Amino acid sequence: MGKTWLMPGVALIAALAGCAGMGAERDMQGAAGSEILRVPLTATRYNAGRIGSATLVSHGGETTVTLQLSSVPSYASRPIHLYTYIHGGRCEAMSERPAYSLTDHVLASPLGRQGAIAAFRGPVTLSNVAPVSLQKLRETPHAINVLTGPADGDRSIFCGNIVG
């Protein structure tokens, strides 16, 4: 018998490691045929050391954009207001004016507690709908730009490139 119980665990770990190495951006098909794209977000100098991602889910001619952020700058006032925009171009060279403003919802929530607006630290989430299909966003370079609220200087704190 020896160490035979160890083999299924090793196989599982190897499989998961293989999946993790497939790249940060991956397309998937949802149960209803919706396309899903994960976009890594890079923290700017105003939010150094933090991580984030955006999950884009197509729904016909619209795309739901859900942000998951490790944290926001300590200077951000509470409740946390985040403004999300999709610009033409890439993070390194975005268009000056956004192509789409995702500002229907700007109050960030503690991860897992949608709607809560109490003062908090740690992971936050925010979701909005872009009036454009994911396919159209992927036809030409676009970037997701996340800014603090006007009271906090309208500073860009995360950016991620939507890859075609």
Check residue 42 and give its pLDDT.
Answer: 98
**What residue segments make up the domains of the chain, in order of their start?**
25-162
Does the structure show a pLDDT above 60 at 109? yes
Tokens at residue 66, please?
């859900």
Model confidence at 7, pLDDT cuts 50, 70, 90, reads very low
CATH topology of domain 25-162: Immunoglobulin-like (2.60.40)
pTM of the model: 0.77
Higher pLDDT, 141 or 5: 141
Q: 3-class SS at 84? A: strand
Check residue 120 and give its pLDDT.
Answer: 53
For residue range 54-104, list pLDDT tens digits in order: 999 999 899 999 999 999 998 998 889 999 999 999 999 999 999 999 999
Instruction: Report the alpha-carbon distance of residue 44 to residue 158 in Å, rounded.
Output: 6
Query: How distant is the alpha carbon of residue 114 from its chain centre?
Result: 16
The pairing of beta strand 51-59 with beta strand 109-110: unpaired
